[in-house]
Chains A and B, each alone.
Chain A
C-alpha cells in the first residue's frame, strides 16, 4: 500500500480504541448504535449479558457460539469467513462454532492499519491478519487462565483444541461454553500486552491453510442471505431514480409530475439538492411499491440543462488526453530515476508506442440501492458498501447533519468490484426519506446503474523505450493520462506526493508502472485528464491502475523483446535481476513467471499455424502489497481476426494461503474478469452520456465464452497477500502478446476486437 493512506479519516489510527474490553461494547452508544427494533440486518448489538467479548472483533456466547464481527465489506471474497478463520486459528475454537456478522460504521471496527472502514486494494487479509490473530490468541489466553483457576491446575499444562480446554494429566476438561457460562473470565489486555503475545509459528497452524466451508455460502444457496436490496422496514416506501442523459454536470430545469400523479401509489417526485456534488440532475420518484415507483418515474416529464459536458464523447476525451501527453510540463512524476533524456541520446534504438483502454462499467449484479430511515436524530442507512467511513459522511452531507448522526448498517454485497466504494446511492435515499417523512428504499434500474457508474476511466498511455547495442532496456518514459478516481474523493491523504514534491498525484492511476524490472533510467508521469475527470467521474474498478499500466508495460516489453530478437519470457527474466530496491520482489516474480511457463508448456512444443502463447507478469496491486502473478495465454487467431482463447495459465505467489480453495476461486474469477475486460466489455461516451444501458450492449463474459483456466498458487511462507485483483491485470497483456505470436498482429487498444486484430494483421 501507499504508506500515506494510513490516516484516511484525518485521525491517527488509535490503538487504544481496540484495547480489549471484557463484557462491554458500549463505545458506540453515544453515536446512537442502539439496536433497532425489527431490524432485519446482521448488525445486532453485540454486548449481550453473559457473553465473553475478548475484543471488538468477536464475542463468545454462553452456548459456545463464537460470533465474529467483520469490519470489511464482503462482496464475495468471503472476507468475513476469512477473518473468522484467522481468529479461530489462535482462539482454538471449533469451526462449527464460528458465525459471522457485519459491522456498523462505529469507528471501533475501523481497519487496524488503514484507520477507516474501507475495503479494497486486495488489502484485507494482509492488513488484518495480525490484529485478528492477536484477538484470537488473547481470547484463548483469557479462557485458559479462567479454566486453570476453575480446575485448580497450572495454565501451562492446559491444551486448547476444538473449543475445549483440557488438562491431560488429570483428564479434566471444560468447553468454551462452560467457561463463559461460569462468568469467571477476568483477564484483560492492554495494547502493549496484546502486541507482546507470541503468535503460533506457521508449522503449528491447524486452521490457516485449510479450505474450511465458507460460513456465508449456505445462505447464498437458499435465498436467505440479505443484501441491501432485501432490506424491509416497517412503513417503508420505494424510490426509483430518474437520471439525466448526461453523466455529470446536468441540472434539472423543470419537473412535470401531472402524469405521474395518475399512477396509483405515487407519493412525490423529489429533485435532489446534492451539496456533496456526488450526483447532478437526479430526481427520485417515490411510491408505495417499486413497481409503482417505476411507472411514476417513466411518467415524469423532466427538462434538463445538459451542462458543460453535454457535447463530449469518448473521442473528445482521447483527443484531450493526447494533447496533454504531448505537453512537456503536464502531470507529476510518480517515478523519476536516472536521466532518461541523456539515455535516449546514447541509445542504439528508440521505440515508442501508444496504448489505450476504453471506459469500463462495474455492473455488479445487484443494482445500486440504499434504504434510509430517520429515527429521532439518527439516520439509519442500510446498504452494502465498501467505504462506510466516507459513505456515512456523504449520507450526512445529503441530510445536512453531522456524520456522527449516521449509522451505516452493512449488508452482504451483491458484487462490489470497487463500485460500492462510492456513496451516490446514499443521496437519493436520504433526500427522498426526508421529503416524504418515511423510510425509503431507493433501487437503481440497471439503466441508472450503468449510465451513472463511477467507471474505470478511459486511459491513454505513451511509452518511449531506449535500448543499448545489446538490446537491453536502458531508458523508459511512461506517461499515463486519465481521470483521477481517488482525487474525486477529496481526501488529500489518499494522494501520493510526486517524487519531486511538486504536488499530490493519484497513485491509483499509475500503480504498477513502478515495476520490478531493472531499468536504470525510468520516468513515470501521472497526467490528469481534467475533461474526462469532470465528464466521467471515475472510480476504482477491480484492480484499478494495474489494469491499464501493465497493459502498456507488459505489451511494450514484449514489443522490445521481439524487436531485438529475444524470447519475450527470457527478456523479462533478464530484467528481473533483483538489483537494488527490486531485491526479493524481482526474484519472486521471476519464479512465478517460470511456474506459469512450466505449467503451460511454454516453448516446449510447436503450435499449429494461427496459434500462439504469450506471457505477462505483474507485481499487482502495488509495489508494497504485490501478489506476484504471471500468465501464459494460449490463443488461436482466425484469418478474420477472431480470437479464440484456448487456455489461461495463471501462477500467483501469495506468500501464505489462509484458504487455498478460496484463493483459487478468487484468482479464477479475477482472471476471467481480466479476459472480460480485455475482450468483451466496452463503454462509450456520446453527447456526455454513457451509451450502454444494459447487458445487451455492455456484455460481460458469459459461460459459453469461458476458456480453460489453470491456476497455480505458490505459498512460500512469506506474509499473506491479496488475491481478489492481481490476476485481473495480467490477462490483457498476455492475450495481446499471444495474439502477436499467433499471427503477427500487435493490438494496443482494449478491448481487443476481431476488427482491431484484423487491422493489425495487415500492418504486420
Chain B
C-alpha cells in the first residue's frame, strides 16, 4: 500500500504499485480535477507536478512517485488563486474546461522556472496539451498575463525587502 506525498499531505493509497498515478488520484483519493484523456501521454489532460516537474500521471506508476512531492490542480494554490488560475478567469479561457486543469499545471511548471517566457517558449512548452475546444489563443494570453503578474509581484517583494 504505497504512501504518497500529495498536495502537502501524506496519504496512503489502497492500490497496486503499477497502478497509474492518475487513477489513484481520481479514484482512491477522489480528487477528480486531474482528468483522463488518452491514457497514452498524448493529450496532457492528466498533467500533475512531481517534484515541481509537469508529468503525465496516466504514464506514471505509483511506485515511481513514492517519496516524491506530488501536486495536483487541487493543491496548486490554497484558494484557487494562483496567478495562472486568476489569469484563466480574467481571460475567460475555458470552454468545456476538461483539459484546463492539465493546461494550468503544464503552464505552472513553465512559469516556476521562467517568469518571462517568449511566445515561442510558451508554444513549445504547451504543444503537448490538446484543447479540443481550441482555446489556444486565450491560453497563451492567460500565461502571459500570469507571468506579468508574477514578475510584478516578485519586483514588489524585492522592493519591500530592500
Contact = CB atoms under 8 A, between A and B. Distances in A.
Contact of B39 (A78, A446, A666): A446
Contact of B27 (A219, A290, A669, A696): A290
Contacts of A290: 23, 27
26 contacts: A76-B133, A214-B92, A216-B97, A219-B97, A220-B96, A220-B97, A221-B104, A222-B80, A223-B72, A289-B23, A290-B27, A364-B132, A365-B96, A365-B131, A412-B97, A414-B35, A414-B97, A415-B96, A446-B37, A446-B40, A669-B95, A676-B134, A695-B43, A700-B132, A702-B136, A706-B137
B134 A669 contact: yes
Interface in B117-133: 123-124, 126-127, 129-133
Contacts of B15: 289, 291
Contact of A366 (B24, B98, B123, B136): B98
A238 B131 CA distance: 27
User: How many B residues are at the interface, by size bracket?
Assistant: 35 or more
A75 B132 CA distance: 11
A366 B139 contact: no
Interface string A428-444: 00000000000000010
Contacts of B6: none
Contact of B96 (A224, A367, A412, A673): A412
A665 B92 contact: yes
A47 interface: no
Contacts of A257: none
Contacts of B98: 227, 364-366, 414-415
B20 A694 contact: no
B40 A694 contact: yes
A223 B74 contact: yes
A694 B136 contact: no
Given A220-B97, A238-B27, A695-B38, 11 more contacts: A218-B80, A220-B94, A291-B15, A291-B16, A291-B20, A364-B98, A365-B130, A415-B132, A415-B133, A446-B39, A704-B124
B52 to A, nearest CB: 19
A76 B96 contact: yes
Nearest to A697: B42
A443 B38 CA distance: 12
Interface of A: 75-78, 211, 213-214, 216-227, 229-230, 232, 238, 264, 289-291, 363-367, 412-417, 443, 445-446, 661-662, 665-666, 668-669, 672-673, 676, 694-696, 700-704, 706, 709
Contact of B42 (A221, A413, A695): A695
B7 to A, nearest CB: 11
A383 to B, nearest CB: 14
Contacts of A221: 80, 85, 88-89, 93-94, 97, 100, 104
Contacts of B24: 291
Q: Is the interface of B mostly helix, strand, loop or mixed?
A: loop
A704 B127 contact: yes
Contacts of B73: 222-223
Contacts of B36: 229, 367, 443
A704 B135 contact: no
B45 interface: yes
Contacts of B85: 221-222
Nearest to B33: A223
Contacts of A216: 94, 97
Contacts of B137: 668, 706, 709
Nearest 4 pairs of A and B residues by beta carbon: A223-B33, A220-B97, A76-B95, A414-B98
Contacts of A676: 134
B123 A703 contact: yes
A702 B37 contact: no
Nearest to A219: B97
A76 B30 contact: no
A571 B23 CA distance: 58
Contacts of A695: 38, 40, 42-43, 130
A655 B14 CA distance: 56
Contacts of B26: 230
